[in-house]
Structure 1
Amino acid sequence: MIGTSRRGFIGGLACAGGLALSGIRPAAAGPALAAAYPEILKFAVTRDGSPLGVVMERFGPDGADGVAEVYIDFVVGFAGIALYRYEHRSRERWRDGRLAALDTVTNDDGTDQAVTARAGSDGLRVDGMQGRLVAPADILPSSYWHPRFVEQRRMLDSQLGRIVEFTIDPVGAETVIALGRPVDTLRYAMRGDIDLDFWYDADRVWQKMTFTIGGSFIEYTRIAPEPGDAGRFRTPLRDGRGLPAA
């Protein structure tokens, strides 16, 4: 893709990836995070049916806290040439059911981006690409895994460090293919800066996502993690940047 259509697709894909791109039960924190979700939640991502990349999220305890990590790697190519590349790494630290800290780094086709956030007495203090802000203490980041996400009307954009507002409503019960088998889910429609559809199972574990951007249909399908996937979370971006030490 070239010109305006390519730019529109890239911009939308970056938004969806960074907003992508958080399941704790609403009151869960710390080690309960590991029990609430599988260790690694992995999605194969396609563009118009062709492989685009992967999104993975890893969950586990760290003392009294819970930690969620995100790994995203997308490549738009043509004839073996990478036309666009998107990489994102993030780490969320959860304490007493709220986000206590967030660190992210992103390579948006050569554009370096980073966000840091720390809980303070006045809310979540965020340093992002658009400056500093104080977000509500109970805000969720844009990683989509948290079961309370479907109850939200705003979120913290993990790629840019801005607050995004939207609506999200249930569409209805549907059966989707996840982990290679049929899964009963409830579909939700998010409408705002970008329109997304999500599918969560009865425990609100994220199973699927779709959206259309720049004339291309993007689909996230849950698949089983592979040996070695855990090691990919700590790999730096291709520009050498990585997350700060935990």
Structure 2
Amino acid sequence: MMRRLLLALMTAGFCNSAGVLAAQDLPYGQSHVFAAFRNGERIGTHTLTFQQSGDKRVVTTSIDFAVKALGLTMYRYMHRGQEVWNGNTFESISTQTDDNGTKYGVKAKQNAAGVAVVRDGGSAPKLSADDVGFQQGGAKQETLPAGTLPSTHWNLNQVKQSAMLNSQNGALAKVQITPRGRETIKTANGTLEATRYSYTGDVQMDQWFDDRGRWVKASFKASDGSTIEYILQE
């Protein structure tokens, strides 16, 4: 029932309310951590880490979720990813995902022809219609349009995109993003002001970014109708 819990979140994308994010203006420290809640109950953690060396930047994503009922784990999700950037230019991404037993692998690299993607779903026991553009039975290669960015949430420039690389399954996700104005949001240690963006199309969710350009909240409906929220732990 919960196998598609993370699909919307992993296909989401993201501009500073003052404009696009410049490479030298990266607003994050070494780590950026969210607690994830389902209908108000904590189910896991989403952690980003940033390593900068000159113009080179490596961004690592770690996600671990577990939904329990009556002491039993009903759903488990694990995702690991690593992006490489040169200044403000995306170079490559590699991810591995275990979505309650359904396994995905994605490798993508920017080249002269576009974004070359190799996605592997051969170890998945069964794929649903939600796995847009993803086929079972071995690796599939595809080249996406040049300039396509991965849907890894932290990069504020993605809010200008109309399509993104799904960082879980490697498919191209088409999305429309609409700013909804300023709101006060709650974090683990207080409140802050942020701009809300709504996503429709292949992605249906809301994201919030603060005045520094940081991703600070997410909210969406899971396939079972439950509400998933990300709360910043700062």
TM-score surpassing 0.5? yes
Cα–Cα, structure 1 residues 20 and 38, in superposed 2: closer, same or farther, change >3 Å?
Answer: farther
Deviation at 1:83? 1.0
Residue of structure 2 in register with 1:231 after alignment: none
Tell me how far apart the structure 2 counterparts of residues 21 and 168 of structure 1 sit (CA, whole Å). 8
Name which of structure 1's ranges 67-76 and 17-26 shifts more when overlaid on structure 2: 17-26
Cα–Cα, structure 1 residues 21 and 40, in superposed 2: closer, same or farther, change >3 Å?
Answer: farther
Residue of structure 2 in register with 1:47 after alignment: 38
Helix, strand or coil for the counterpart of 1:149?
helix
Residue of structure 1 in register with 2:3 after alignment: 10
Residue of structure 1 in register with 2:124 after alignment: none
Task: Provide Cα deviations, 1:185-216, integer angstroms capped at 9, x if missing partner.
Answer: 11110012231011111122111010112210
Cα–Cα, structure 1 residues 144 and 107, in superposed 2: closer, same or farther, change >3 Å?
Answer: same
Helix, strand or coil for the counterpart of 1:87?
strand
Tell me how far apart the structure 1 counterparts of residues 89 and 144 of structure 2 sit (CA, whole Å). 12
Tell me how far apart the structure 1 counterparts of residues 207 and 64 of structure 2 sit (CA, whole Å). 20
Residue of structure 1 in register with 2:141 after alignment: 132
Tell me how far apart the structure 2 counterparts of residues 54 and 108 of structure 1 sit (CA, whole Å). 15
Task: Provide Cα deviations, 1:144-184, integer angstroms capped at 9, x if missing partner.
Answer: 11111222111100110011001000111100112411101
Helix, strand or coil for the counterpart of 1:10?
coil
Matches within 5 A, 1:1-80: 6=1, 9-11=2-4, 13-19=5-11, 26-28=21-23, 32=24, 35-80=26-71
| CA RMSD, Structure 1 to Structure 2 (Å) | 2.1
Tell me how far apart the structure 1 counterparts of residues 11 and 62 of structure 2 sit (CA, whole Å). 12
Task: Give the conservation status (yes or no) of the 8 Å contact 1:17–1:72.
Answer: no
Structure 1: 4+ residue segments shifted above 2 A: 16-27
Deviation at 1:79? 1.6
1:193 partner letter: D
State the number of aligned residues. Answer: 212
Deviation at 1:22? 7.5
Tell me how far apart the structure 2 counterparts of residues 81 and 64 of structure 1 sit (CA, whole Å). 46
Q: Which has the higher contact order (CA 8 A, sep 6+)?
A: 2
Deviation at 1:14? 2.8
1:10 partner letter: R
Tell me how far apart the structure 1 counterparts of residues 157 and 203 of structure 2 sit (CA, whole Å). 19
**2:78 aligned to 79, 87, 98, which one?**
87
Cα–Cα, structure 1 residues 90 and 38, in superposed 2: closer, same or farther, change >3 Å?
Answer: same
Tell me how far apart the structure 2 counterparts of residues 121 and 48 of structure 1 sit (CA, whole Å). 45
1:118 aligns with 2:109: yes
Residue of structure 1 in register with 2:129 after alignment: none
- Segments of structure 2 that go 5 or more residues without pairing to the other structure are 121-133, 135-139
Task: Give the conservation status (yes or no) of the 8 Å contact 1:188–1:198.
Answer: yes
Tell me how far apart the structure 1 counterparts of residues 13 and 180 of structure 2 sit (CA, whole Å). 23
Task: Give the conservation status (yes or no) of the 8 Å contact 1:21–1:88.
Answer: no
- Segments of structure 1 that go 5 or more residues without pairing to the other structure are 1-5, 225-246
Task: Give the conservation status (yes or no) of the 8 Å contact 2:144–2:172.
Answer: yes
TM-score (normalizing by structure 2): 0.84
Q: Whose helix fraction is larger, Structure 1's or Structure 2's?
A: 1
Cα–Cα, structure 1 residues 20 and 166, in superposed 2: closer, same or farther, change >3 Å?
Answer: closer
Residue of structure 1 in register with 2:131 after alignment: none
Cα–Cα, structure 1 residues 23 and 63, in superposed 2: closer, same or farther, change >3 Å?
Answer: farther
**1:159 aligned to 144, 152, 168, which one?**
168
